[in-house]
Copies of this chain bind each other. A is one copy, B any other.
Amino acid sequence: MENKVVPPLRWDFSNMSAEVLGTADGINDSARSPALQLLDEARKCFEEDRKKGRFPFLELPYQSTEKIKTLAEMVRERFDNFVLLGIGGSALGPIALQQALHSPHYNMLSRDQRGGPKMFFIDNVDPSEVAPLFELLDPARTVVNVVTKSGGTLETMALFLLFKDWVTKHVGSRAARNHFIATTDLNKGALRKIAQEEGYPTLDIPEAIGGRYSVLTPVGLFPAAVSGIDIDALLKGAADLDQVFQKGPTSENGAIWGAYLHYWSSTQKKRNILVTMPYAEGLNGIAQWFGQIWAESLGKEKDLSGKKVSTGQTPVVAVGATDQHSQLQLYMEGPMDKTIQFISVEAIKDDLSFPPIKAEGTIALLDGRSLGELLQIEQLAIEASLTKAGRPNCKITLPSLDPHSVGALFYFFEVQTVYAGRFYQINAFDQPGVEAGKKIIKKLLLRKNRL
């Protein structure tokens, strides 16, 4: 007997409709009805492609996690510091998980409170990020997880060279081998070769899964497990959403609708900006992660037929309530060029009730309330004020900030991106535009004289 699936999150696109915004800015029935047919067709293609194995990241929720958990357990027991070296998709997912599911002061907690090592994520080739770490950490008590899909990402390998040198100088080249774990492609790439030569433990990134779709591979799961996150619950959230999507009608599928409405906004209403605005500090990292998958997947010069199209919305990250005091003025009064995508959390953890209040004015209204309630009230108020001003917005609501919801949220955005790619008729899985820069980097590095 199968358990009933609990919907791991909810979505609401009503504030993008003509019924709410008026016909000039919202989608109305004359656009929605033909869309439904398009959506149904897109879904059929999607399901066929999935059966053919073209979207292997969709099956990640059903993977076995034993190897990851075993290796993570070893790291938790043996090391005080965990350093991840990665860039782009190899860092954004791991960082997003850490931020969403742990205290912002995780590294300042006691070892007992953490239960595992301190967590560091290095995703830039900036000495000011690296040098202080070499001062701070004891290499003998540090494990380094080198993460690169291709196995040859220049920035990540540059960092690896420095960390390898640092560890080796302190513990010797033989012992240094026990301080590195490689997460990379199963078969190819420089890192795989080095890992084999040196005997590093390795974790495999399935071949057909690119960096920005890799958060539910060992790329994201391993550091999450090392920091004590329940990665099975994470995958269960994604699996539950997958079941909801697979079993429910297209008309109620939030990822397909979201993809279509953002595509429609961008192509029909010239709204070239999509702001992700979580009302939860911890979701900042997921908004940044979303920024990559949306920008890199959909920002394309040519469509599948080779026609020049220059598609894509520019993702912007705002955090509520903070950015009410920074970006909101522009969102309320500036150009009609954006949609605000709220993310809210229903059950507030560790909420703090206000003490009895003697002050006058608005502050007195906090009496009997809690800080979490204030955050939720602000989200509702800003949503209402944007809507009243005719500004398009939508919302994803998580029941709580836990691995189950967060796993589902990643999955929601991944599926939505693939559908959006289909509507734009572009390849959502390549990134040809970054090659030119890489070539120039190589050319400049070849010059013998400095810079």
Contact = CB atoms under 8 A, between A and B. Distances in A.
A375 to B, nearest CB: 5
A433 B328 CA distance: 7
A20 interface: no
Given A162-B354, A337-B314, A446-B365, A388 B436 contact: yes
A351 interface: yes
A292 B401 contact: no
Contacts of A281: 124, 126, 128-129
B334 A312 contact: yes
A359 interface: yes
A104 B87 contact: no
A18 interface: no
A370 B105 contact: no
A314 B298 CA distance: 19
A372 B161 contact: no
A236 B103 CA distance: 38
A376 B88 CA distance: 18
A105 to B, nearest CB: 5
A361 B451 contact: no
A301 interface: yes
A392 interface: no
Nearest to A436: B385
Query: How many copies of the polypeptide does the oligomer hold?
Result: 2
Contact of A442 (B211, B327, B362, B436): B362
Interface string A231-244: 00000000000000
A249 interface: no
Contact of A350 (B104, B127, B349, B359): B127
Contacts of A451: 373, 376-377, 380
A382 B125 CA distance: 14
A321 interface: yes
A99 to B, nearest CB: 10
Given A334-B310, A337-B314, A371-B127, A431 B329 contact: yes
B291 A327 contact: yes
Given A124-B281, A327-B295, A442 B365 contact: yes
- At the interface, is chain A mostly helix, strand, loop or mixed? helix
B88 A350 contact: no
Contact of A132 (B103, B154, B165, B325): B103
A374 interface: yes
- Size class of the contact patch on chain A: 35 or more
A362 B444 CA distance: 11
Contacts of A161: 354-355, 357, 363, 366
A134 B88 CA distance: 34
Contacts of A374: 125, 154-155, 158, 445
Given A128-B104, A451-B377, A299 B441 contact: no
Contacts of A315: 327
A166 B443 CA distance: 58
Contacts of A126: 279-282, 321, 371-372, 375
Interface of A: 87-89, 91-92, 103-105, 107-109, 123-134, 136, 152-155, 157-159, 161-162, 164-165, 190, 194, 211-212, 272-273, 279-282, 288, 291-292, 295-296, 298-302, 310-312, 314-317, 319-322, 324-338, 348-352, 354-355, 357, 359-363, 365-366, 369-378, 380-382, 384-385, 388-389, 401, 431-434, 436-446, 450-451
The 9 closest A-B pairs by CB, nearest first: A88-B325, A299-B330, A332-B433, A299-B334, A312-B334, A301-B333, A381-B440, A131-B350, A292-B326
23 contacts: A89-B326, A108-B108, A125-B374, A126-B280, A126-B281, A126-B321, A127-B349, A127-B350, A128-B349, A131-B352, A152-B363, A159-B371, A161-B363, A162-B354, A190-B363, A273-B273, A292-B327, A299-B330, A299-B334, A311-B334, A314-B330, A317-B317, A374-B445
